[in-house]
Structure 1
Amino acid sequence: MARITVDDFFCKGCGLCVDVCPVSILELDPDVITAKGYHPAHCTDQEKCTGCATCALMCPDVAITVER
């Protein structure tokens, strides 16, 4: 099973990962604000992750790690 980890320190909430996720399991967390003032991305359902790593490839800040 694949697992997505988003590093809140580097995530600036740009939403590019949310747009490219083929199974729509990423979203910006409206309840969390990082120390830099951003709403970071987070995975809503790890079970549905296919491990395609499109989110990690799209992330300009290298804030996403995908483990397969």
Structure 2
Amino acid sequence: MSRIVFLEERCKGCRLCAEACPVRIIRPAGRFNRQGYEVMETEGRCTGCASCAIMCPDTAIRVFRDKAGGKTA
């Protein structure tokens, strides 16, 4: 299964990743990083499309794709 890892200390809570996600699994986590920004988290099954990581202006997202689809991380 594909998964997303947020580098929380880089996240500025802009929520562009949530807007870019085609399956709408990214949401605010309700917790804050040291800079005071609300970080994001996932809830649900990631497709590994990487739209969130492409959209993130702070490169705070890493996408790890499953190997079943022939894709690599």
- Give the TM-score normalised by the residue count of structure 2: 0.85
Aligned residues: CA RMSD? 0.7
**Does structure 1 residue 10 correspond to structure 2 residue 7?**
no
Give every structure 1 segment of 4 or more consecutive aligned residues whose post-TM-superposition deviation is greater than 6 Å: none
Q: Which residue of 2 aligns with 1:38?
A: 37
Q: Which residue of 2 aligns with 1:55?
A: 52
CA deviation after TM superposition for structure 1 residue 64, in Å: 0.2
Unaligned runs of 5+ in 2: 66-73
Unaligned runs of 5+ in 1: none
- Give the TM-score normalised by the residue count of structure 1: 0.91
Choose between structure 1 and 2 for higher RCO, CA contacts under 8 A separated by at least 6 residues: 1
